[in-house]
Structure 1
Amino acid sequence: MQVAICTDIHGNRHAFEAVIAAAEQAGAEELWCLGDLVGYGAEPDACVALAAEHAAICLAGNHDLAVVEVLSLDDFSRGAALAARWTQEVISDETRQFLLSLSPAGQGEGFGLFHASPRDPIWEYVLSGLTAELCFDSTDFRVSFIGHSHVALSFHRPEGFPAAGSTQREGIELDLTQGDWLINPGSTGQPRDGDPRAAWLLLDTQRQVCTYQRAEYDIAGAQAAIRAARLPDSLAERLQYGQ
């Protein structure tokens, strides 16, 4: 089965729509979303509606859980907290109920799915080989997909060797048949790896191969929505730089 995997949408409807269209064009039969449907962007209801319509699996991210008051905003940066409070005020009851129904961890076709990490599905950033090593030891899944860091990257632990990782670019294909893997498709709605295009991943579940993907989207439209909502301008500005 061909599966599109995305994460960290953050209320960016334009980016999410572009990824859904690109995934359909690539022949994806299912869409899996690893969380943070809402957060920094200005169209949370639209993003949740898209996930409800298109995603076969959808996880909760830390921003989703904060917006429905499962998590405290005390642990969020100023900009993230301001955006979360705004989102709390504007979302519909349907959006709120959908977010409340989600979990930060799951599985699909034998693969582990976590918003942040297998060890801590809500908060942990997997950005080093040591952290990846600890995550591998905490889960029975040989291959897991994660989000949260907004960076397209992967960590691999071959049999008998320590874990090592690297950032990944569009078109890179990974053979997942050997060893342990942690794979982050990168952020759809707010990439932070220097590439402003919406990030996603195409997984062939039978061949156990995945390919990093990017989709062009209307960045100016997403920025205009943020500014119209009077959210911090930095949230709009950063989109054009992928930072």
Structure 2
Amino acid sequence: MLAAVVSDIHANVQAFSTVLAEADALGVDEVWCLGDVVGYGGDPDACVALAVERCDLLLGGNHDLAAVGRLSIEDFSPRARESTEWTARTLSAASVQALMPLQSLAERDAVGLYHGSPRHPVWEYVITAALADLCLNSAAQRVCIVGHSHVAGAFGRRGGQPATGAIRHHGTVTDVSGGEWLLNPGSVGQPRDGDPRAAWLTLDTSTWEATWRRSAYDIAGAQAAIRAAGLPDSLADRLQYGQ
């Protein structure tokens, strides 16, 4: 099976729709979303509707849970708090109904799927090899995919050796048929690895081959939606830099 894996949409419908169109062109069998459909961006209802329509598996991220009152925003940054409060005021009843029951972990085709990590599915950022080792120790699956960090990358380990990892760039193909792996598709709606293009990956579970992908999208349109919502200009500005 060929799955397209997306995460951290952040109410950026321009990026999300572009990625879905490119996934369709590849002939993917399923779309898996690791959460944070809303937050930061200006089109939360459109993104929720698209996720409900198109995703075969949909997890809830910390921004999704906070927007419907299931998670406190006390630990959010000021910009995250402001955008979450705006999202909560703006969401339609249908969007609230769609987000309210979401869980932050699942398994599909022997792959563990988590918004944050296998240890802490909602909150943990897996950004170091030491953390990756701890997460692999607690994972029930050999291959796991996580989001939350907004950085496309992978950590792997074999034969009892410590995990190693690196950022994955557009077009990078990795054989994950052996060993243990934590893969991160990066962020569709707000990349933070210096590449402003929407980040995602495909995983072929018949060959265990993961491919990281980037999609150019209408950044100006996404920025305009943020500004029209009255959200901080910095949330719009950062999109063009991938930061």
CA distance in 2, matches of 1:163, 1:49: 38
Question: Match of 1:60, as an amino acid?
Answer: G
Aligned match of 1:83: 83
Residue 228 (structure 1) shift: 0.5
Instruction: Determine helix, strand or coil for the equivalent of 1:75.
Output: coil
Structure 1 unpaired stretches of 5+:
none
Q: Distance in 1 between matches of 2:166 and 2:187?
A: 16
The DSSP-based 3-state class of the residue aligned with 1:106 is strand
Write the mapping of 1:25-40 to structure 2, written as runs, cut at 5 A: 25-40=25-40
Indicate yes or no: 2:170 matched with 1:186: no
Percent sequence identity over matched residues? Answer: 54
For 1:24 and 1:200, the matched residues in 2 are separated by 13
Residue 73 of structure 1 aligns to a residue in which SS? Answer: coil
Which residues of 2 match residues 43-192 of structure 1 at below 5 A?
43-192=43-192
Question: Shift in Å at residue 29 of structure 1?
Answer: 1.4
Amino acid at match of 1:127: I
Amino acid at match of 2:148: H
- Is 1:211 paired with 2:211? yes
CA distance in 2, matches of 1:146, 1:214: 17
Q: Distance in 1 between matches of 2:68 and 2:55?
A: 20
1:154 match: secondary structure: strand
Q: Secondary structure at the match of 1:74?
A: coil
Distance in structure 2 (CA, Å) of the matches to 1:160 and 1:79: 41
Deviating runs (4+, > 3 A) in structure 1?
none
1:79 CA displacement = 0.3
CA distance in 2, matches of 1:102, 1:9: 15
State the TM-score, normalized to the length of structure 2.
0.99
Q: Deviations over 1:102-158 (max 9, x none)?
A: 100001101000001000000100011110000011111100000000000100011
Output the amino acid matched with 1:76.
Answer: F
Give the aligned partner of residue 13 of structure 2. Answer: 13
Once the 2 structures are TM-superposed, how far is the Cα of residue 160 of structure 1 from its aligned partner?
A: 2.2
Secondary structure at the aligned position of 1:181 is classed as: strand
**Letter paired with 1:190:** Q
| Letter of the 2:233 counterpart | D
Q: Secondary structure at the match of 1:35?
A: coil
Which runs of 5 or more structure 2 residues have no equivalent in the other structure?
A: none
**2-side partners of 1:91 and 1:182: how far apart?**
32
TM-score (norm 1): 0.99
- The whole-number CA distance in structure 1 between the counterparts of 2:90 and 2:68 is 12
Q: In structure 2, what is the Cα distance between the partners aligned to 1:138 and 1:37?
A: 26
How many residue pairs align between the two structures? Answer: 243
